[in-house]
Chains A and B, each alone.
Chain A
Amino acid sequence: MNQCVICQTNRAQVIRPKNGQKICKSCFLEVFELEIHTTIVENNIFPNRGERVAIGASGGKDSTVLAATLKALNERYDYGVEFVLLSIDEGIHGYRDDSLETVKRNAIQYEMELCIVGYDTLYGWTMDKVVEMVGRKGNCTYCGVFRRQALDRGAKQLDISHILTGHNADDIAETVLMNFLRGDLPRLGRCAEIMTASPTSAMKRSKPLKYAYEKEIVLYAHYRELDYFSTECVYSPEAFRGNARSLLKELEKIRPSSVLDIVRSGEQLVHDAIGPNKLRYEEQNEWYEGGKGSENDKHILGNLKSPPGHGTTHQTTDGSRIQTIGVCENCGYMSSQPICKACVLVDSLNKTNASVGVSLGGGQTIH
């Protein structure tokens, strides 16, 4: 009865959430992969042939689908890059040990090199031990800070300067909403960008699944019978994200394209709101004399005039940050502060003074 609107031959099995198209399984797989290919080509994600690129692999659906599609696309369209799976072992019993087994199988299935970096070897603490110390509240702060650095360090070990992560459209839409809700302007400007190279990390990070719906990722994994691990982290019902997540789900019911529309809005904020051009404020005010923002802009300039010290962050009143990069005095890792956040946290753990860590968490901490 219901024919696939693309091939006009097979029976339609899938309704695409993006546009309500009813299509068949094989057309779905093709369209899904083609969209990721388009994303890669248009954003010039693999500029250099012969480059080695890391895929942040957790064994979950997103990173498994990422690895599977990239392998297929690399063969089909000849990007000429080599993929390496990079996994982080947070040391969470009953979660990470099992998912790492999945990653190990993936490495064989996709014929990719695998590198696992452990929190215990890097920091001397597993997340199990951290949670024992600080409790379940706020432990995600530690994990988040540790993971970001661990990924960088792992890639460095592999002599790689580009990490791909499996963030999907739903993740990004949630983050956009979340950053509005917590009033995090600097992050709001960055979170929808497909490729980031932050001042505190020379590592390039890209999200090739940025336009892929979570639903379609699950479906793709299901149709291709991918081997993935689907348990939530035992420690982290991330409360604040959960709030944004349920809001997004409700919006998606009303208008399924909402996820993509929020991503689109987020992209516009990136380029217009917090771009480097912001300093061209004089011109702007001349045209737009509504008084909006003129004060804020002065603050930025004021800050620029003051000589940047070693590794400091100036937080201007409008929330924009001007960062200068130094090196952590402790571990030598890049940091905007004299001592990097991971070292601060490890220090606090070692001093068995858990509360300090949380308060020093600054922007990372979500209460």
Chain B
Amino acid sequence: MEFEVTMADIARLPRTPAAQSLCKRCKQNPPEITMRHEALCRDCFQIYIRTKFTRHMEPYRVKKNSQTTKKLLLATSLGVSSTALLDILHWHRALQVERARRSEYDVEVVHIDDTALIGGDGTTAAAAAADECLEKLRERYTQFEFTKVPLEDIYRIPNGTAAVEEIISTTEGITLDHSPSSPSSSSSSSPLDKLRTLLSTLNSRASQMDLITILRTRLIVELAKQRNCEAIFFADSMTKMAAMVLAEVTKGRGHALPWLISDGPTPYGPQTIVRPFRELSKSEIASFITFSSLWPFSIISQEAATNPPKPPVKAKNQTIDEVMEKFFNDVSNAHLSTNVVKTAAKLGFADDRDRVERLGLCEICGLPMDEDPRIRKLKNVKAEEGGEGNGNANDADARIYCLEPPEGEEGLKQRRCYGCRRSTLGAGKIDWPVNNR
């Protein structure tokens, strides 16, 4: 390209007759960005972004008599939002150190590396890009610790309740078993092979990506448990979350929406989830990156972020999440993400306790199980009439939703939620690496 116009350049261009060309908030500097109908200078814009972030940091403010330093785990994809959150968190912690001479928390940054799944040259290139980016981040953000964990390590996580408790009680010296041929594993195949086998049994790229996302989340949670982190930070923007909401609805996980998107405790364990960017749009975060000159610290280039390339796959091979992200990245739909996220956040459950006790957690996604609403209704009717017989209803579930359990797996409905049954449809028996608590 001979000439490149960055968003900052555009923002710097004089707008309309310079009648009132001063930032709406500080009334001193020329505005550089129009944000929610307000023309702001870059300083005021950064204050705005940081304010939105700081609101979520209440539990991590410096407290007078706190004894221990809290440990936070920041999950990074090395994408635009991840880098922005890293930067702001670094700023926030530095401010604590400056003002209070100590910080309330330490941050461990974890990048889950799934490049091995690409295979061939793609793996090498992607892994090199990630390493390079991580190296740059390490140099710049010296207060934080960075680690890269391959996704297949989920197969190295010791399973079972006892094992997890053991890890939590013995705080130091826990490392994952990275030796290539682990004698403890019962089968001879490597974790990567196991992961590849699992994915190869799934019927579409959409299902594969769905399970990869679940595995990534579960690995992050397990790592947080191992490292005694009390909170996990995700850099999901409002735009991303809107896409997540509709994607999960589309996958049939409407029943689990509150757990999927709300901050706070999870069914996975005591760690809380924090998404400090849930009120910021993707474009706002991109502007922040531009103003802070952080583009070199993200794996996504500025051109790619502002003008996303067409997905390299055929329309049929896209994933549900990709379609949804594309939908909300579209400028004409961007404003709808607020509605989606706010509406989803208001959904709650009336019968949480009852449901979890009665139905348990899904063996795949680890979230509370759903129940065929018609069965519940039938039960009520039956209870009133004092009758019985629910075998019929089970058949009808298979008939109406066309989700017949695979042969020999008739009890699957009791162990796997609707969305996970859909994503593993036709996969037969699978070797799933994580157990629920």
Who on chain A is nearest to B338 by CB?
A183
Who on chain A is nearest to B375 by CB?
A42
CB of B400 within 8 A of CB of A265, answer no
User: Which stretch in B43-51, B110-118, B221-229, B313-321 binds the other chain?
Assistant: B313-321
Known contacts A43-B374, A180-B339: does B255 contact A272 (CB below 8 Å)? Answer: yes
B350 proximity list for chain A (CB < 8 A): 272-273, 275, 277-278, 280, 284
Q: Bound state CA distance, A78 and B63, in angstroms? A: 73
User: Which stretch in B29-37, B84-92, B341-349 binds the other chain?
Assistant: B341-349
**Restricting to A6-28, which residues have a CB under 8 Å from any CB of B?**
16, 18-19, 21
CB of A284 within 8 A of CB of B352, answer yes
**Restricting to B341-363, which residues have a CB under 8 Å from any CB of A?**
342-353
Who on chain A is nearest to B319 by CB?
A254
Whether, in the assembled complex, B305 has its beta carbon less than 8 Å from a beta carbon of chain A, the answer is no
CB of B315 within 8 A of CB of A253, answer yes
CB of B264 within 8 A of CB of A268, answer no
**Restricting to B400-414, which residues have a CB under 8 Å from any CB of A?**
400-402, 404
Name the distance in Å between A267's Cβ and chain B's nearest Cβ. 5
CB of B352 within 8 A of CB of A262, answer no
Whether, in the assembled complex, B246 has its beta carbon less than 8 Å from a beta carbon of chain A, the answer is yes
CB of B348 within 8 A of CB of A273, answer yes
Residue among B315, B333, B344, B352 making CB contact with A250, cutoff 8 Å:
B315
Interface string of A203-228 (1 = CB under 8 A from B): 00000000100000000000000000
**Restricting to A251-272, which residues have a CB under 8 Å from any CB of B?**
251, 253-255, 257-258, 260-262, 264-272
Q: Bound state CA distance, A303 and B372, in angstroms? A: 32
Residue among A260, A269, A283, A293 making CB contact with B401, cutoff 8 Å:
A260
A255 proximity list for chain B (CB < 8 A): 204, 206-207, 250, 320, 422
CB of A290 within 8 A of CB of B320, answer no
CB of A261 within 8 A of CB of B333, answer no
Name the distance in Å between A344's Cβ and chain B's nearest Cβ. 26
Which residue of A211, A267, A275, A319 has the most chain B CB atoms within 10 A of its CB atom?
A: A267
Who on chain A is nearest to B419 by CB?
A261
CB of A18 within 8 A of CB of B418, answer no
Q: Bound state CA distance, A266 and B264, in angstroms? A: 24
CB of B343 within 8 A of CB of A184, answer yes
Known contacts A180-B344, A264-B418, A275-B350: does B250 contact A251 (CB below 8 Å)? Answer: yes
CB of A183 within 8 A of CB of B340, answer yes
Q: Bound state CA distance, A91 and B350, in angstroms? A: 45
CB of B204 within 8 A of CB of A318, answer no
Whether, in the assembled complex, B258 has its beta carbon less than 8 Å from a beta carbon of chain A, the answer is yes
Whether, in the assembled complex, A65 has its beta carbon less than 8 Å from a beta carbon of chain B, the answer is no
Which residue of B253, B254, B320, B402 has the most chain A CB atoms within 10 A of its CB atom?
A: B254
**Restricting to A167-224, which residues have a CB under 8 Å from any CB of B?**
176-177, 179-185, 188, 211
Interface string of B225-265 (1 = CB under 8 A from A): 00000000000000000000110111111110110001111
Residue among A211, A292, A293, A319 making CB contact with B343, cutoff 8 Å:
A319
Whether, in the assembled complex, B336 has its beta carbon less than 8 Å from a beta carbon of chain A, the answer is yes
Q: Bound state CA distance, A278 and B352, in angstroms? A: 11
CB of A271 within 8 A of CB of B373, answer yes
Residue among B246, B253, B351 making CB contact with A272, cutoff 8 Å:
B351
Who on chain B is nearest to A252 by CB?
B250
Known contacts A188-B343, A261-B250: does B370 contact A268 (CB below 8 Å)? Answer: yes
B347 proximity list for chain A (CB < 8 A): 185, 269, 272-274
Whether, in the assembled complex, B7 has its beta carbon less than 8 Å from a beta carbon of chain A, the answer is no
Name the distance in Å between A289's Cβ and chain B's nearest Cβ. 8
Who on chain B is nearest to A283 by CB?
B353
Name the distance in Å between A339's Cβ and chain B's nearest Cβ. 29
A278 proximity list for chain B (CB < 8 A): 348, 350
Interface string of B391-404 (1 = CB under 8 A from A): 00100100111101
CB of B348 within 8 A of CB of A292, answer yes
Known contacts A273-B349, A284-B353: does B393 contact A243 (CB below 8 Å)? Answer: no
A16 proximity list for chain B (CB < 8 A): 402
CB of A258 within 8 A of CB of B250, answer yes
Whether, in the assembled complex, B376 has its beta carbon less than 8 Å from a beta carbon of chain A, the answer is yes
Name the distance in Å between B394's Cβ and chain A's nearest Cβ. 11
Whether, in the assembled complex, A306 has its beta carbon less than 8 Å from a beta carbon of chain B, the answer is no
Name the distance in Å between B359's Cβ and chain A's nearest Cβ. 12
CB of A261 within 8 A of CB of B400, answer no
CB of A183 within 8 A of CB of B255, answer no
Whether, in the assembled complex, A296 has its beta carbon less than 8 Å from a beta carbon of chain B, the answer is yes
Whether, in the assembled complex, A133 has its beta carbon less than 8 Å from a beta carbon of chain B, the answer is no
Q: Bound state CA distance, A34 and B398, in angstroms? A: 13
**Restricting to B288-320, which residues have a CB under 8 Å from any CB of A?**
315-320
Which residue of A42, A264, A291 has the most chain B CB atoms within 10 A of its CB atom?
A: A264
Residue among A254, A261, A280 making CB contact with B252, cutoff 8 Å:
A261
Who on chain B is nearest to A247 by CB?
B327
Residue among A42, A185, A251, A261 making CB contact with B396, cutoff 8 Å:
A42
Known contacts A254-B320, A262-B249: does B264 contact A292 (CB below 8 Å)? Answer: yes
Who on chain A is nearest to B265 by CB?
A290
Q: Bound state CA distance, A211 and B398, in angstroms? A: 12
Q: Bound state CA distance, A250 and B325, in angstroms? A: 13
Name the distance in Å between B423's Cβ and chain A's nearest Cβ. 9
A262 proximity list for chain B (CB < 8 A): 249-250, 252, 254
Name the distance in Å between B279's Cβ and chain A's nearest Cβ. 15
Known contacts A247-B327, A266-B254: does B346 contact A271 (CB below 8 Å)? Answer: no
Q: Bound state CA distance, A266 and B347, in angstroms? A: 12
Whether, in the assembled complex, B125 has its beta carbon less than 8 Å from a beta carbon of chain A, the answer is no
CB of B402 within 8 A of CB of A39, answer no
Q: Bound state CA distance, A145 and B353, in angstroms? A: 40
Whether, in the assembled complex, B378 has its beta carbon less than 8 Å from a beta carbon of chain A, the answer is yes
CB of B422 within 8 A of CB of A180, answer no
CB of A257 within 8 A of CB of B343, answer no
Whether, in the assembled complex, B168 has its beta carbon less than 8 Å from a beta carbon of chain A, the answer is no
Q: Bound state CA distance, A262 and B248, in angstroms? A: 9
Whether, in the assembled complex, A287 has its beta carbon less than 8 Å from a beta carbon of chain B, the answer is yes
B393 proximity list for chain A (CB < 8 A): 42
11 contacts between A and B (CB under 8 A): A18-B402, A42-B374, A42-B396, A177-B249, A185-B343, A247-B327, A260-B402, A265-B253, A265-B254, A265-B255, A284-B348
The 10 A-B pairs of least Cβ separation, nearest first, read A265-B254, A290-B264, A183-B339, A277-B350, A261-B252, A19-B402, A268-B255, A273-B347, A18-B402, A268-B254
- A residues at B contact (CB < 8 Å): 16, 18-19, 21, 34-35, 38-39, 42-44, 176-177, 179-185, 188, 211, 243, 247, 250-251, 253-255, 257-258, 260-262, 264-275, 277-278, 280, 283-284, 287-293, 296-297, 318-319
Other A-B pairs, 7, CB within 8 Å; known A38-B396, A265-B254, A272-B347: A21-B402, A180-B245, A180-B339, A260-B401, A260-B402, A277-B351, A278-B348
